[in-house]
Structure formats: structure tokens, C-alpha cells
Amino acid sequence: MKVEIIIAGFGGQGVLSMGKILAYSGLMDDKEVTWMPSYGPEQRGGTANVTVILSDDKISSPVLDSYDIVVALNQQSLDKFVPRVKSGGILMYDTSGIHKRPERNDVKVYPINAMEATLEIGNPKAYNMVVMGALLEVMPYKLPMENVVKGLKKSLPERHHNLIPLNEQAIEKGRGLI
Amino acid sequence: MNDEIRLMKGNEAVAHAAIRYGCDGYFGYPITPQSEVLESLEALMPWETTGMVVLQAESEVAAINMVYGAAASGKAAMTSSSSPGISLKQEGISYMAGAELPALILNVMRGGPGLGTIQPSQADYFQATKGGGHGDYHLIVLAPASVQEMVDFVALGFDLSFKYLTPAMILADGIVGQMMEKVVLPPQRPRRTDDQIREQCPWATTGRKGLRKRNVITSLELESSKMEIINHRLQARYREIEKNEVRWEEINTDDADYLFVAFGSIARICTKAMELAREEGIKVGIVRPITLWPFPDKAIEKAAEGKKGILCVELNAGQMIEDVRLAVHDRIPVCHYGRLGGIIPSPAEIVEELKKMIND
């Protein structure tokens, strides 16, 4: 098993921390993992993306040309990464704020409205976990939920562990979008 | 799951590794993309546990001279910075090489020259391997390609620098510093006691207590005839290091027609490029120098036997390629593919460059 994922969106959407929780969940599931951010002078409102690779074997390059799964959370990221989904791969995007839909017939496309689902939960900070729930649902590699919870515990500082049930709720909400 | 298996950034991993090695002191000044080293050490508060000193100095120059002072008393001391900060440290590094002192220096390279960018680069290869500061000296230079190697090379770097009494450098790039991977941390080693330091470092300024002659730590010697003897001693030690400490990794070199030579994280990108090229029937292998000094010239010469060409892939305008050409005596074509200023080549771009080289 090897899955190469990029999550791309605006800074402040929780892209990097979603990648971190995904990577930690993979680690808890005994996988090799690499988390590679597009680090730079980034800030809220700018673009941010993170490549996450989960694999049974040693991972070679942290830098990739194409991905098994692209998760795009704004128009800029969608435009940039649509051509870079591997044929037969998965493209997931949040429909809120998207005015130009992707044109790919050789990949599975999952438009989700994670923004709306997050508002239903009532805590905008849970947005990235709603997206992650949807991602976990479509990912061919099935990450057991118990390891995702372990990943959450490892990723969040202890003072935020009271938020784990909210995050779990958001993940379930996201799964429901598929 | 083993509690010691963690997910962390390369920079963070160095902080953990330093504490666990039993490092006595870290002296640094923040600069992207390696500020997490100092940040992590401050968060881990090792002064409460092992007694390790962690100090943010007023400048890079102050930090390296604090390392000099600590090293002179036999302590395991380190500093870290990124390219412009490492330039500031060169005087202190040269002095430590001259005074035959052990120390560990981490450079997480960023694009230059000058202040440059904060994105990954390998443009400090010349500076790290050819001296950097003034005078005839070499650092032992280790190039990690993974977060795990960032951890492992802290111990290796300290061990080698104490064995050969010369500073060692971990020459990393922003990719290795900033990415998170699975790491296995070594067990906590106790810091050496004063008695152990006296035994291990009879040259150190540990207090003579009236029992031995004075130890003088200096790089100054005004008499040329004596200075030449010191230089010969250093050179003899460098030859020893060249004989004993060359490290490299080879992947699929046996059946290959072509070779990539790359170090650090770029060797990992080349591994993916190698997979892509082989899918198209181009047989390419990889030599990854792990010690950049001493350089694995004999290994490269041997691996290059019967090959049609070498592509050096570096995040610079062509630095390691000079050592590669010397290693193969220009018997086969050696080409270069470099990205500059913080741009990272993708695996497919590297394959394209390989094809260009083959078709030229």
C-alpha cells in the first residue's frame, strides 16, 4: 500500500494540521509517513499546501509530480492541482467559493460542501476535520478510526484533548458527505 | 507501539537527539528554516532534566564563540543556523579547527547568496566542504536525507568530532529540516561527569588542580616552524579521516547504464526519478554521498566503471559536480542539473534532464 496525497487551500483553513493528523494516524497504523509542507512566508489568506505520503515501505521522494488524491479547498488550489491527479486517482474539492468546476473524466471527482457541514456543527475550527472525514471515506486505504483518534491525541497538545470528541464528530460529519 | 517512535520535523528531531546524546550545551540564534531547533530545546527544557545548557545568544558570532569556550573545556557543545548565519560563524569555526576542538554545527541551508530566500537549497556545499573559514582545514560534513538521519547524525557527528578533535557539520537543507517523518529516538544517555571528561579529554581546560601541566587552547602560534608542525598534524588527521570515515549509499548501481549523484533530500527525489526512468526502460542508479567531506571519490569512481554518463542533481549551480568529475577523472560525461534560489526539482523534471543528457 502506498497513497500519495496533497491537501491544498488557504492559510488558516487548517491544511497543515489536517495533514499532520492524517500523517500521525498513519503512523499509529504502523505505516511509513512523510509530511512535507510548502513552507514559506505564508500567512492567513495566502495559499498553503502539504504533501502526505502513507506507505507500507520506505518512502522515497517527499516531492511529487502527481498524486493519488488531491484535496483542493479553494479555486486557486483546484486550478493548480487538477492536472496533477494521477489517472484513476481521486479529486476532492470543497464547492464553496468554487466558480469553475474541474474537467477530468479519468479520475473520481468528489465535490463536497464541507463549509456548510461545518457551520451545522457550529465550530468553524472543525472545518479541516470535516474535510478529513470525507477524505478517510473515499481513500482506498482504510485507516481504522481508532488509529485516527490516536493520531488526534498525538497531534493535539494535551490542553486541547477536550476537543477530541468535537473533532471525532466533525470527522463523522465529513464521512456523511460522501 | 514503541513510545520512542514519533512523528517530527527534522529540526525538532535534532533537538531531541542532542538532549539524548548527553549534549552539554546548545548556543544559537534563530533563523528560518531551522528556528525549531532552538524552539524545541526551549520547550523541552533539558536544563531541568539532564542539565544541558540552552542559550539564545545575542548573535551568531557570540553563539559560535560560546561553543568554542564550552568545547575548550571538553564539553559536547553545538550550534545551528542557516546559510547567512553560518557565514557569520566561519571565523569561530576556523578557530576551533585550528585549536583542534570538537563541536557539532548544523546548517539547514536556504537559498542565497546574501539573505536570499528561506526555501531549500544546497548552495553551501563549497563553504562546508572546502573550508568555509580561512586556513587549511576541513570539517567532517554529514548530509542527512531523512528525519531519522537528522537524529542519527547528531550522535555520529559528535562521536567523530571527539574522535578526531575537529568540528563536524550536519549539512541539511530546508526540506529535511521542515518535513515530518517517523523517527526512532535513541535512549537517553547521561551527560559525562567532570571526571569522565577529564579522562576522555586530557587536553581540555578542566582545572589542573596542581597535578598536571597547563593545558592551553589556542589557534595562535607566532613561530612559523611550529605552526607548520601544527598544520602537518592537522593534515595527518584529515588523511586518517579520509581513510576511515567515508560513507555513502548506492541504489541499483550494478545494472545501471547511468548514475545520479545527489546528496541530502535531493537523493530521495532522484530515487523517485530513478523509478520513473526505469519504468521507461532507462537503467539508472544512484550514488548518494553521506559524508560530503571526506568525499566518497573512490566509491563513485568504482560505481562509474562502464557507465555511459553521470547526472549530478543539486540545489545549486554546480558545486559537488567538481568533486564528482575529479572522482571519475572525466573519463565519462558528467552533467549537472541544478535548481537555484529555493526551487525544488520534481522527479519528472529530473527524468527529463536525464533524457536530455542521454540524447546529447
> Taking the domains of chain B in order of start, what are their residue ranges?
5-184, 248-359
Contact A68, A90 (CB under 8 A): yes
Taking residue B317's Cβ as centre, other Cβ atoms within 10 Å add up to 12
Report how far residue B9's alpha carbon sits from residue A78's, in angstroms, rounded to the nearest whole number: 27
Torsion angle in degrees (nearest 10) through CA of A103, A106, A112, A115: -60
Q: With an 8 Å Cβ cutoff, is B289 touching chain A?
A: no
Residue A60 in this model has a pLDDT that exceeds 60 = yes
Report the mean per-residue pLDDT for chain A: 94
Q: Note whether B7 contacts A63, CB cutoff 8 Å.
A: no
Residue A41 in this model has a pLDDT that exceeds 80 = no
pLDDT in tens, B222-265: 999 999 999 999 999 999 999 999 999 999 999 999 999 999 99
pLDDT band at B4 (very low <50, low <70, confident <90, very high): confident
Q: Which residues of chain B neighbour A154 with C-beta distances below 8 Å? A: 7
Residue B149 in this model has a pLDDT that exceeds 50 = yes
- Yes or no: domain B5-184 corresponds to CATH 3.50.50.60: no
- Min CA distance, B263 vs chain A (Å)? 13
State the residue for C-alpha cell 546559510.
Answer: B83
C-alpha cell read off for B150: 537528522
Q: For residue B70, give the H/E element and its range.
A: helix B60-72
pLDDT in tens, B286-311: 999 999 999 999 999 999 999 999 99
E-assigned strand segments in A56-116: 67-72, 85-94, 108-112
Q: What is the mean pLDDT of residues A132-145?
A: 97
Q: With an 8 Å Cβ cutoff, is A21 touching chain B?
A: no
Q: Which residues of chain B neighbour A68 with C-beta distances below 8 Å? A: none
pLDDT band at B160 (very low <50, low <70, confident <90, very high): very high
Report how far residue B274's alpha carbon sits from residue B65's, in angstroms, rounded to the nearest whole number: 44
Residue B276's pLDDT is 97
Picking from A38, A46, A39, the residue whose alpha carbon sits closest to that of residue A64 is A38
Q: With an 8 Å Cβ cutoff, is B278 touching chain A?
A: no
Q: Give how many domains chain A has, as a whole number.
A: 1
Report how far residue A134's alpha carbon sits from residue A92's, in angstroms, rounded to the nearest whole number: 9
Q: What is the mean pLDDT of residues B259-273?
A: 98
DSSP symbol at B341: T
Q: Which residue has the higher pLDDT, A42 or B150?
A: B150
Report how far residue B128's alpha carbon sits from residue B269's, in angstroms, rounded to the nearest whole number: 22
Check for a shared fold between B5-184 and B248-359: yes
Residue B208's pLDDT is 86
Please report, for residues A24, B10, B143, B159, the alpha-carbon distance to residue B202 in angstroms, rounded to integers and kept in the order given. Answer: 46, 34, 31, 16
pTM of the model: 0.95
Helix, strand, or coil here: B335?
strand
C-alpha cell read off for B263: 546528496
Which domain does A85 fall in, by range? 2-175
The complex scores an ipTM of: 0.92
Residue A46's pLDDT is 77
Question: CATH number, domain at A99?
Answer: 3.40.920.10
Amino acid letter, residue B141: V
Please report, for residues B274, B276, B354, the alpha-carbon distance to residue B348 in angstroms, rounded to integers and kept in the order given. Answer: 10, 7, 10
Q: What is the mean pLDDT of residues B255-284?
A: 98
Residue B129 in this model has a pLDDT that exceeds 50 = yes
Please report, for residues A78, B27, B157, B226, the alpha-carbon distance to residue B30 in angstroms, rounded to integers and kept in the order given. Answer: 35, 10, 21, 39
C-alpha cell read off for B258: 547511468
Amino acid letter, residue A14: G
Which of B182, B271, B349 is closest, CB to CB, to A60? B271
Contact B171, B141 (CB under 8 A): yes
Q: Which residues of chain A neighbour B5 with C-beta distances below 8 Å? A: 27
pLDDT in tens, B134-146: 999 999 999 999 9
Q: Note whether A40 contacts B272, CB cutoff 8 Å.
A: no
Q: Mutate which of B2, B36, B119, B180 to test chain A, going by most A C-beta atoms within 10 A?
A: B180
Q: Note whether A40 contacts B5, CB cutoff 8 Å.
A: no
Residue B354's pLDDT is 98
Report how far residue B27's alpha carbon sits from residue B80's, in angstroms, rounded to the nearest whole number: 8
Report how far residue B104's alpha carbon sits from residue B162's, in angstroms, rounded to the nearest whole number: 10
Contact B34, B11 (CB under 8 A): yes
pLDDT in tens, B311-330: 999 999 999 999 999 999 99
How long is chain A? 178
Residue A100's pLDDT is 92
Residue A12's pLDDT is 85
Residue B1's pLDDT is 42
Identify the CATH assignment for B248-359 out of 3.40.50.920, 3.90.850.10, 3.40.190.290, 3.20.20.70: 3.40.50.920
How long is chain B? 360
- Min CA distance, A155 vs chain B (Å)? 9
Amino acid letter, residue B61: V
Residue B3 in this model has a pLDDT that exceeds 60 = no
